[in-house]
Amino acid sequence: MDINVQVIEQRMLENKQLDTLVFGMGCFWSPEANFGQLPGVLRTRVGYAGGTKLNPDYRQMGDHTETVEVTFEPDSISFEQLLRKFWNDHNPNRPAYKERQYISLLLYRNAEQKTIMEAVKRQLENERKEPIYTEIAPLHDFTEAEPHHQKYYLKRFKRATEQLMQQFPDEKAFHMSAIAARLNGFVREYGTLASIKSEIAEWNISADEAIAIQKLLDDLKW
């Protein structure tokens, strides 16, 4: 059957309650891939946040940090689970490198997120018997990074990327795809193609649509 992955994903997202987590844990390429492979995470993108410089970019970041924005479905993966993964998957106490570009950073969107961040941090400090120096601050703005930074590892496989891009009206829509997020993790050796196909079978889409997307993945030329 003819398919349009973007349309299928949009229908999958209908009536879902979504939340967003923004964080920095070093160079943003690997964290985007790492979190993008998680079931329950529906979109990822990388960008610059946490500072005051207007219109930051990679060459003139100012006091911003490389960050990842993760959009997720709390019924499938909780905010607390994502925070624990954040703290378990990097060293939050390493010395600052390149000023603020690579610091350990959590940015909260509201008071509830702040409360949960601080509570999980205290729990982990008690478990580890040491302080955690991650900066926790309000999110004032998020500037999306340049296109070549988005889904960085997946784009190294040009033929597969070109095939996938045919399913989307433009590059930005491709960047915000759950399929692109999963495959960006897969090529970084986070997760497997089999696990992605199994997850798709559980999506709130028709059986024919799931089979068609699975076939699309099988037909990718790496």
> Active-site residues: which are they?
27
Cβ–Cβ < 8 Å for 114, 136:
yes
Alpha carbon distance 138, 26 (integer Å): 19
3-class secondary structure per residue, the chain: CCCCHHHHHHHHHCCCCCEEEEEEECCCHHHHHHHHCCCCEEEEEEEEECCCCCCCCCCCCCCCEEEEEEEECCCCCCHHHHHHHHHHCCCCCCCCCCCCCCCEEEEECCHHHHHHHHHHHHHHHHHHCCCCCCEEEECCCEEECCHHHCCHHHHCCHHHHHHHHCCCCCHHHHHCCHHHHHHHHHHCCCCCHHHHHHHHHCCCCCHHHHHHHHHHHHCCCC
Structure tokens at 95: 């010395």
